Amino acid sequence: MNETFARRVTGIAGISAAAALIIEVPLYFIYSGPPPDSNVLARLLIGIVALAFLVVFVTAFRELVKRVSPAYEWAGSMAFATGLVYATITLVSSGLEAGAVIAVDHPIDPTIAVNGTYILYGSISRLMLGFFLTSVGYVISRTNLLPRWTGRSAYVLAGVNLAFVPSLFFGNTPANFYAANGWGTTALMGAVLSYWLLAFGIATYRSAGRLAPTGSPALRN
């Protein structure tokens, strides 16, 4: 995988994951009570697709770091590992929700009924994303990999995610902003991540077309 290809794969995967997440998040707010099975399973399926693209994204990003700045390959590997753990945790949570919905013969709200997902979607996911985004921000701030705003925004978003880690102490009411499974802890953070991924993916894909003859982007600001 050369640098140009790595940039394009990282960009396309980031854009694809973001697009799926942007479609998924609003589906959580259509119904005020327990949603029909079709709604729950549709949003979970879209989320699973998004996470599959996210796995490609973190893998390609690690390869990109390796090609551009081998000295920071360890930080790229940290981003890969924490991103992969985040995707795995969220996939497990999705499986638990889908299984609960399929098993019963009446509509349930899995964000409340499946208590095993409370801190998987919440505190644990926020911590892993915080580490992932910090690693991404560190790599970009130490290299000329991408425009500076991508690194700075990664740091900011990492801080916001880490601020939600203690939310497990604040109950399990999804209507609350700051709760183990609150809409701020889960849905809002998912929405913010999706738009950041979209912007990051576009910037990464576009950078492939700006490579100077030396193999490095000619402009990164």
| Share of residues in the chain with pLDDT > 90 (%) | 79
The SS3 assignment for 215 reads coil
* pLDDT > 60? residue 221: no
Provide CB contacts within 8 A for 184, sequence distance 6+: 164, 167, 176, 177, 178
| Burial of 61 (C-beta count, 10 Å sphere; 0-12/13-18/19+) | buried
What are the beta bridge partners of residue 211? 217
**Using CA atoms, how far apart are residues 61 and 55, in angstroms rounded to an integer?**
10
Q: 70: which residues sit within 8 A by CB, 6+ positions away? A: none
Q: How confident is the model at residue 217 (pLDDT cuts 50, 70, 90)?
A: low
| 19 membership: H or E segment, kind and range | helix 3-24
> Residue type at 158?
A
pLDDT class of 29 with cuts at 50, 70, 90: confident
- Tell me: the pLDDT tens digits for 96-128? 999 999 999 899 989 888 988 999 999 999 999
Closest to 125 (Cα-Cα) out of 166, 95, 76, 161 = 161
- 8 A C-beta contact, residue 202 and residue 145: no
pLDDT number for residue 21 = 95
Amino acid occupying residue 1: M
| Residue 181 near residue 122 (C-beta atoms within 8 A) | yes
d(CA 213, CA 216): 7
CA 57 – CA 13 distance, rounded (Å): 5
| pLDDT the model gives residue 101 | 94
In angstroms, the CA 166 to CA 187 distance is 16
Q: What's the mean pLDDT in 127-154?
A: 95
The SS3 of residue 211 is strand
Query: CB burial class (10 A; 0-12, 13-18, 19+) of residue 164?
Result: buried
Range 6-10 average pLDDT: 95
Mean residue pLDDT across the chain: 91
Token representation of residue 156: 């900011």
pLDDT tens digits along 55-109: 999 999 999 999 999 999 999 999 999 999 999 999 999 999 999 999 998 999 8
- pLDDT, residue 208, reads 87
Chain segment 164-177, per-residue pLDDT in tens:
999 999 998 888 99
Average of per-residue pLDDT across 36-63: 96
Could you tell me which of 25, 83, 85 has the C-alpha nearest to residue 57?
83
* pTM above threshold 0.75: yes
Residue 163 pLDDT more than 80?
yes
Distance CA 32, CA 25 (A): 15
Residue 220: band (very low, low, confident or very high) from pLDDT cuts 50, 70, 90: very low
Report the pLDDT value the prediction gives residue 219, as an integer from 0 to 100.
39
Bridge partner residues of 217 (DSSP): 211
Q: What is the mean pLDDT of residues 119-145?
A: 95
